[in-house]
């Protein structure tokens, strides 16, 4: 399967792909994007892993030919390519969802799973669909089927975490009305399979018609499963402070796009230049590349102010020097909202250890919000005596700033709020992450655009499970 594109550069489709899939040859050759997808344009060869993978890639995630792609999926099932089948079914189904053809998407996804597809996004979308319709038994069955196939390692961590949380919620719903045990088979939704709150029964009644009486004492709900509140929007200026180039693109870019579209001002401050982030590039070259990628990335979501400090990537030191630099930036930008990345010890379902730089910078941002408002902390920034103690603090001319009203932490396992994001903001966030091409290329062989699209979909879908079905970006918000 190597060099498929270069073997037949003069035609609309790779010759080997057409030979392997003769029944699809005419359809593939007719696709406008064939021989023009990332595999052909970037490396000059088709490295999607298989003929089925190439077929799906030639359609793409936002294909206008979703019905044609769906028509070819039985061919992938017969060929024994479950990964390509799952990706193709996901692409077609998500297009159908945007076209309000949800039931068709659901039928397609159930069929794909029955054919051996194990795509986590399909599991997540399907279980979400059934949970929204209060069919918790079917939602739980889909979740348990998914979790039985969860790999030990791999990507899509946010999606797997969302599935795990949904399974827990569905078990509680079913137990609350005495319907625990084996869920019904797919398609046999059970009336009364929701909790009182889900079915719209007034608070305090504790009863669903026809259900047995249950204990009314409310269980303790983990913070990671509580509904998310709307992000506060009574602000005009925000300053986002993170450790590395790309940190914001992995956590907050879609929200930033929504805010800048609404006329709010957002500036970025990067504590390092990311010089230790790419194993194949020397630190100096890596810093140059990643700084340029960050500036381009920020522009995509409407951020024109991007500043860099010169703390060392990978070994950022917690302490006064860092707090001084951040306090100076806060006093200079005078934001009402501070944004940073997860300062807690772990990510997601707490099985993945966070990096020292993220922990140190996140905690320093929370501290610096108070430092900036106290004129007796780092007074040299106010009196013009310079930064004799070292660091990048201002040499004077600033005023205290006690106007920070909130610190919003993206990527936190203790999220409390969310910013709803629309299709335009999602697309810009995806392009913003994809702009970090050199960094992504060092992580994966996947095309940066596909990688960014799938990752943002996973994160936004995970938020939707706790945000009334709306896609969004989650934050742990600390009011001040």
pLDDT digits (tens, 9 = 90+) for 377-408: 999 999 655 444 444 555 678 999 999 999 99
What is the spatial distance between Cα 182 and Cα 201, in angstroms, rounded to a whole number?
25
Q: What is the pLDDT of residues 90-120, one digit of tens each?
A: 889 988 887 889 899 999 999 999 999 988 8
Residues 360-366: what's their mean pLDDT?
Answer: 97
> What value, to the nearest 5°, has the Cα angle with vertex 20 and ends 14 and 25?
60
Q: What is the mean pLDDT of the chain?
A: 79
Q: H or E segment at 465? A: none
Q: How many other β-carbons are positioned within 10 Å of the β-carbon of residue 391?
A: 19
- The burial of 188, by beta-carbon neighbours within 10 Å (0-12 exposed, 13-18 middle, 19 or more buried), is given as exposed
The pTM for the full model equals: 0.59
Per-residue pLDDT for 180 more than 90?
no
Give the distance from CA 62 to its chain's centroid: 18
pLDDT, average across residues 322-339? 97
**3 state DSSP class of 15:** helix
239 compared with 47, residue with greater pLDDT: 239
Q: Which of the four pLDDT bands, split at 50, 70 and 90, describes residue 171? A: confident
pLDDT value of residue 124:
87
In the prediction, which pLDDT does 205 show?
35
Could you give the CA distance from residue 47 to residue 25 in angstroms, rounded to a whole number? 19
Task: Look up tokens 């709900």; give the residue.
Answer: 221
Report helix, strand or coil for 65.
coil
Query: Tell me, what's the pLDDT at 62?
Result: 66
Q: For residues 215-222, give the mean pLDDT.
A: 36
- Output 14 or 446, whichever has higher pLDDT: 446
Within 315-422, where are the H helices? Answer: 320-333, 356-371, 380-383
Spell out the residues 6+ positions from residue 225 whose beta carbon is closer than 8 angstroms to its own.
165, 168, 169, 466
Domain ranges of the chain: 4-117, 229-479
Q: In percent, how much of the chain has pLDDT > 70?
A: 73
CA distance 249 to 432: 6
DSSP structure class, residue 224: G
Q: What is the CATH T-level fold of the domain 229-479, as seen in this structure? A: Rossmann fold (3.40.50)
What three-state secondary structure class fits 126? helix
* Residue among 301, 309, 293, 290 at smallest CA distance from 265: 301
- The answer to whether residue 353 scores a pLDDT higher than 50 is yes
């Amino acid at each position: 399967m190597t060099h498929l594109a270069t073997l037949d550069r003069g035609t609309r489709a790779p010759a080997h792909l057409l030979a392997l899939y003769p029944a699809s040859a005419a359809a593939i050759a007719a696709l406008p994007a064939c021989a023009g997808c990332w595999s052909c344009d970037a490396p000059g060869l088709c490295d999607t892993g298989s003929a089925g993978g190439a077929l799906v890639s030639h359609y793409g995630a936002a294909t206008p030919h979703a019905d044609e792609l769906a028509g070819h999926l039985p061919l992938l099932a017969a060929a024994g390519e479950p990964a390509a089948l799952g990706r193709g079914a996901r692409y077609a189904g998500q297009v159908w969802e945007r076209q309000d053809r949800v039931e068709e998407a659901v039928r397609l996804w159930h069929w794909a799973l029955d054919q051996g597809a194990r795509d986590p996004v399909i599991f997540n979308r399907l279980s979400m669909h059934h949970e929204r319709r209060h069919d918790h038994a079917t939602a739980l069955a889909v979740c348990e089927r998914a979790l039985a196939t969860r790999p030990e390692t791999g990507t899509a961590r946010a999606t797997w975490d969302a599935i795990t949380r949904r399974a827990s919620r569905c078990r509680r719903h079913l137990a609350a009305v005495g319907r625990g045990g084996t869920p019904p088979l797919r398609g046999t939704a059970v009336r009364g399979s929701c909790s009182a709150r889900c079915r719209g029964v007034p608070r305090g009644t504790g009863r669903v018609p026809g259900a047995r009486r249950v204990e009314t004492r409310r269980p303790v709900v983990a913070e990671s499963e509580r509904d998310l509140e709307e992000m506060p929007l009574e602000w005009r200026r925000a300053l986002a402070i993170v450790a590395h180039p790309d940190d914001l693109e992995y956590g907050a870019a879609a929200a930033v796009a929504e805010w800048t579209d609404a006329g709010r001002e957002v500036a970025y401050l990067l504590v390092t230049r990311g010089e230790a982030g790419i194993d194949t590039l020397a630190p100096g070259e890596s810093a140059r590349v990643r700084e340029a990628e960050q500036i381009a990335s920020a522009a995509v979501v409407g951020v024109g102010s991007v500043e860099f400090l010169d703390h060392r990537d990978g070994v950022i030191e917690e302490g006064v020097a860092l707090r001084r630099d951040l306090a100076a930036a806060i006093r200079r930008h005078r934001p009402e909202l501070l944004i940073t990345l997860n300062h807690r010890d772990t990510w997601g379902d707490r099985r993945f250890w966070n990096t020292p730089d993220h922990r140190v910078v996140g905690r320093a941002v929370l501290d610096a919000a108070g430092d900036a408002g106290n004129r007796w902390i780092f007074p040299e920034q106010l009196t013009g005596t310079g930064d004799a103690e070292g660091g990048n603090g201002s040499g004077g001319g600033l005023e205290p700033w006690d106007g920070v009203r909130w610190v919003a932490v993206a990527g936190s396992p203790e999220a409390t709020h969310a910013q709803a994001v629309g299709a335009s903001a999602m697309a810009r966030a995806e392009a913003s992450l994809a702009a970090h091409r050199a960094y992504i290329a060092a992580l994966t062989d996947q095309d940066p655009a596909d990688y960014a699209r799938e990752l943002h979909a996973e994160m936004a879908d995970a938020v939707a499970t706790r945000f009334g079905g709306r896609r969004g970006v989650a934050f742990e918000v600390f009011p001040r």
